[in-house]
A and B are shown apart, each in its own frame.
Chain A
């Protein structure tokens, strides 16, 4: 019983961070139909920045570093959209071109990180130390804080998308880009903002996951792959779908780690994914046509 509860807590908190990270990928795909291959490298870059702020250069508390990173990463994301994506938009084959551009940008970031920080993995301090006893179940305070923080971020994003004027504009763009222009929405701004928000989400995930998964120049590809599976599993572009998929796969992972070993996670995720895609080719809640 105790072990089941521990698996549950670890699965939920893992699922919640995956959700934060994958929502970034999904949001950008939803609004601009671009699969951002640099999402994992942006996550790693955010992790290195967090390390610089907390240990490498300054000695800020991790929580403060996270607050500092939010505006920085937002502007970084906006900049990436302006400089890497936007110039390719007018081209006829922009879909392939932008996808390749994000892939190229990922390699640029990876190599930059390698040159600046070296090949050795480094670690980020957790937000909080120590353990927490919930009756018979003992969990680390970090995973409790991770769960709460990730759920709050996801909830805040949902509220923003459904109740703010700009959030509604983002949903409008993802449902009908021309329709959005016709009511006066500047779609370019929506694309830029979705990259900015996506970078912030990657940063939040990086700060929450790096104490466990370490920071290394190519370390962003494993979470990117996971986010990609989650987004396809949930249905490309569907935020609801990502929510379900992240928690389901987070729980699957917790069980696999407890019963087999961590290296079985991806094979079993793919098994789950393929099974779902056979029954529902567009993922859990997907409605993507183009």
Chain B
């Protein structure tokens, strides 16, 4: 078992967003999370990755309790968040962004190998190596966000709506590369709004409805 979440509650101030979410992700799985706008998908991924505080419940990763660990602590354990709104370093080049993905010592040691992998997965990024991240197209920015996550020597990636703002053709390509990343042994929790988009690609899917896991739509 890779990730196990039990009865997770998350608040923004007084606003109760996640009302007791439980789910498990198996090692090596590509698991999907679907749900409509504003139902708490991003909040779930951020909670897992240490970017929003958890009020109650438990999260374990490979048997270790990870509640309350900071994002850097989690990145050090290979748990990486790829954000819906990318959070790239706009005034740095594509290459500088990728190298910052390998900031922590464990990832730095593997940086050369991971950079080759990222460039073979996204040759476009190699072509744009010296371009500022802030000037990339939507698709290229998404590739860079995923590439930067891979540079962190990720073992578990929480990927938030990679299709956001992309043309349908490009979305399919992007999801292909996510399957390719998973095929390399990286466990993935993938958020999308529509089941149709990911149904044929994932090993399991969880639906979030108003901050709760709804009945399984698909397994």
0/1 string, A116-151, CB within 8 A of B gives 1: 000000000000000000000000000000000000
Shortest Cβ distance from residue B110 to the other chain A in the assembled complex, whole angstroms: 13
Majority DSSP secondary structure for residues of B touching A: loop
A-to-B contact residues, CB < 8 Å: 165, 168-169, 171-172, 175-176, 178-186, 287
- Return chain A residues, CB-CB under 8 Å to B81: 182
Task: Report whether A182 and B104 are in contact in the complex, using a CB–CB cutoff of 8 Å.
Answer: no
Among A165, A171, A179, A183: residue with most chain B CB under 10 A: A183
Contact among A168, A181, A185 for B51, CB-based, below 8 A: A181
Stretch of B15-23, B69-77, B173-181 on the interface side = B69-77
B-to-A contact residues, CB < 8 Å: 49-51, 70-72, 75-76, 80-81, 83, 86-92, 96, 99-101, 103-104, 107, 148, 152
28 A-B pairs within 8 Å (CB atoms) are namely A168-B92, A172-B92, A172-B100, A175-B90, A176-B87, A176-B90, A178-B51, A179-B83, A179-B86, A180-B89, A180-B100, A181-B51, A181-B70, A181-B72, A182-B49, A182-B51, A182-B83, A182-B87, A183-B103, A183-B148, A183-B152, A184-B71, A184-B72, A184-B76, A184-B103, A184-B107, A184-B152, A186-B70
Measured in the bound complex, the distance between the Cα atoms of B89 and A171 in whole Å is: 9
Shortest Cβ distance from residue A179 to the other chain B in the assembled complex, whole angstroms: 3
Task: Report whether A183 and B75 are in contact in the complex, using a CB–CB cutoff of 8 Å.
Answer: yes
Among B72, B91, B104: residue with most chain A CB under 10 A: B72
- Return chain A residues, CB-CB under 8 Å to B99: 168
- Return chain B residues, CB-CB under 8 Å to A171: 89, 91-92
Task: Report whether B88 and A179 are in contact in the complex, using a CB–CB cutoff of 8 Å.
Answer: yes
Task: Report whether A175 and B101 are in contact in the complex, using a CB–CB cutoff of 8 Å.
Answer: no
- Return chain B residues, CB-CB under 8 Å to A182: 49, 51, 71, 75, 80-81, 83, 87
Task: Report whether B87 and A185 are in contact in the complex, using a CB–CB cutoff of 8 Å.
Answer: no
Task: Report whether B51 and A183 are in contact in the complex, using a CB–CB cutoff of 8 Å.
Answer: no
- Return chain B residues, CB-CB under 8 Å to A287: 91
The 6 closest A-B pairs by CB, nearest first: A179-B87, A184-B75, A184-B104, A181-B71, A184-B72, A175-B89
- Excluding A179-B86, A181-B71, 7 further A-B contacts by CB distance (< 8 Å) are A178-B87, A179-B83, A180-B89, A181-B51, A181-B70, A182-B83, A185-B103
- Return chain A residues, CB-CB under 8 Å to B107: 184
Measured in the bound complex, the distance between the Cα atoms of B76 and A186 in whole Å is: 11
Shortest Cβ distance from residue A196 to the other chain B in the assembled complex, whole angstroms: 20
Task: Report whether B83 and A178 are in contact in the complex, using a CB–CB cutoff of 8 Å.
Answer: yes
Task: Report whether A176 and B72 are in contact in the complex, using a CB–CB cutoff of 8 Å.
Answer: no
- Return chain B residues, CB-CB under 8 Å to A168: 92, 96, 99-100
Contact among A169, A176, A183 for B101, CB-based, below 8 A: A183
Task: Report whether B76 and A176 are in contact in the complex, using a CB–CB cutoff of 8 Å.
Answer: no
Task: Report whether B87 and A169 are in contact in the complex, using a CB–CB cutoff of 8 Å.
Answer: no
Q: Which residue of A lies closest to B108 (CB)?
A: A165
Shortest Cβ distance from residue B93 to the other chain A in the assembled complex, whole angstroms: 11
- Return chain A residues, CB-CB under 8 Å to B76: 184
Measured in the bound complex, the distance between the Cα atoms of B101 and A184 in whole Å is: 8
- Return chain A residues, CB-CB under 8 Å to B49: 182
- Return chain B residues, CB-CB under 8 Å to A185: 72, 100, 103
Measured in the bound complex, the distance between the Cα atoms of B148 and A185 in whole Å is: 13
- Return chain B residues, CB-CB under 8 Å to A186: 70, 72
Shortest Cβ distance from residue B207 to the other chain A in the assembled complex, whole angstroms: 26
- Return chain B residues, CB-CB under 8 Å to A169: 100, 103
Q: Which residue of B lies closest to A92 (CB)?
A: B13
Contact among A176, A181, A184 for B89, CB-based, below 8 A: A176
Measured in the bound complex, the distance between the Cα atoms of B101 and A165 in whole Å is: 12
- Return chain B residues, CB-CB under 8 Å to A172: 89, 92, 100
Q: A178-B51, A178-B83 are in contact. Are A183 and B100 (CB under 8 A)?
A: yes
Measured in the bound complex, the distance between the Cα atoms of B152 and A182 in whole Å is: 9
Shortest Cβ distance from residue B12 to the other chain A in the assembled complex, whole angstroms: 11
Measured in the bound complex, the distance between the Cα atoms of B96 and A172 in whole Å is: 10
Shortest Cβ distance from residue A92 to the other chain B in the assembled complex, whole angstroms: 8
Measured in the bound complex, the distance between the Cα atoms of B83 and A184 in whole Å is: 14
- Return chain A residues, CB-CB under 8 Å to B80: 182
Measured in the bound complex, the distance between the Cα atoms of B132 and A87 in whole Å is: 35
Shortest Cβ distance from residue B89 to the other chain A in the assembled complex, whole angstroms: 4
Measured in the bound complex, the distance between the Cα atoms of B100 and A183 in whole Å is: 7
Task: Report whether B92 and A175 are in contact in the complex, using a CB–CB cutoff of 8 Å.
Answer: yes
Shortest Cβ distance from residue A189 to the other chain B in the assembled complex, whole angstroms: 9
Shortest Cβ distance from residue A75 to the other chain B in the assembled complex, whole angstroms: 23
